[in-house]
Amino acid sequence: MTVVFSGDPAASWSILLEADLREAPDPAAVSARMRRAAEEFPNLGPAAVVRRPSDWDGVRAEFADGHYREGGPLVRVALAGHSLVIAAHHGAVDGLGLLALLGVALGEPVHSSATGVALRSPDRPYLLSALDRVREAVWTPPTRIEPSLRGNETGDHLVSRALPAVKLGSARLTSAALDATRRWNAARGVPHGRVVAAIGASWRGGADPRPEADSALLRLRLPAGATEEDVRALLAAAAPEAGFPSAHNPLARWGMRVLASRLGSTFLASNLGVVDADVAGLRFFPAASGRSGVAFGVVTTGEVTTVTVRVRRRDFDAAAAAGLLDLLCAAVLGDREVQR
């Protein structure tokens, strides 16, 4: 039986962190450390088996797209030479939790500059928030990033770009995603005036991440013509969304199925901050769900900032996914070089 999670029931809710390692670790040592983590943190489920794949792209897609099963591991790990990928169910850990698992795998602490939203609190109870979301879905659904196709393929495309290290906080990332959305939809002759951004965050900071789920969500309605400074002000004033009801709540699940095509945000943006870890590079892929099925991720390590996009295969082909990410990179960098 598939693990139930509050949110889009079609999504796998598998979040991924891919690392380019400076040294190839001992797979047996990684397995032992992951086993000890599973014993210490029951939320991770049974200990993950460390895979040694010959088809890296294939196992990464399997980790991203495969739904988690009740009673099975909620963490997935693959290691091939200097490449490591860690995936986890979003109900077990959040993005900072993935960084904690990276530290477990490497056997050394990993830190992030992410600050978290512990000093904020929801400004209304879940019921009022839910009623507002239903009203929005029925009468003024958020702008959808226009699909490039109407298909039946399952799973997601994962695309990344490496940029020279730039100061790319959540406000700038969201502003760049907004610009990419406007340009993408305008080129296809469809509206882009009701953009709603979901900002993935954590209640805690990244100074000492733990392999746990402590997710928070900020939701910004971005008016037409909003600038980066407007986004920054809205983000600074935003209250986190109230927690979801039980994923087993039949009324909530029915509502999400009925309004699936109209619920959710235009895109998700999630920033893991500047990460201090003994790696050559990192790529973070948050979960893509909701109205557009588009999620942007960013993480900086060393001299490289990596931006990613994750999109539903049924709505976008690989070329469209790359084109959408290139628009975001152009908004961030202008004429500076992007590594593919």
Q: pLDDT tens digit string along 257-301?
A: 544 555 678 999 999 999 999 999 999 999 998 888 999 999 999
More confident residue, 253 or 8: 8
The predicted structure's pLDDT at residue 270: 96
Q: What residue spans in the chain does CATH classification 3.30.559.10 cover?
A: 14-110
Q: What residue spans in the chain does CATH classification 3.30.559.30 cover?
A: 126-333
Q: Which CATH class is domain 14-110?
A: alpha beta
**What separation in angstroms does the CA of 197 have from each of 56, 112, 205, 235, 318?**
32, 23, 21, 10, 23
Say what the pTM is. Answer: 0.91
The predicted structure's pLDDT at residue 90: 94
Q: pLDDT tens digit string along 130-183?
A: 666 666 666 667 889 999 998 889 999 999 999 998 889 999 999 999 999 999
The predicted structure's pLDDT at residue 259: 47
The predicted structure's pLDDT at residue 157: 97
Q: How does DSSP classify residue 46? A: S
Asked if residue 248 has pLDDT above 90, the reply is no
Domain 126-333 CATH assignment equals 3.30.565.10: no
Token pair in block for residue 330: 């152009």
List phi, psi (to 5°) of 254. Answer: -65, -45
More confident residue, 250 or 226: 226
Q: pLDDT tens digit string along 14-42?
A: 999 999 999 999 999 999 999 999 999 99
Overall average pLDDT of the 236-246 stretch: 71
The predicted structure's pLDDT at residue 258: 44
- The rounded percent of the chain whose pLDDT value lies above 70 is 83
Q: Tell me how far apart the alpha carbons of residues 118 and 98 are, in angstroms, rounded to a whole number.
A: 19
Q: How many helices (H) and strands (E) does the chain have?
A: 8, 12
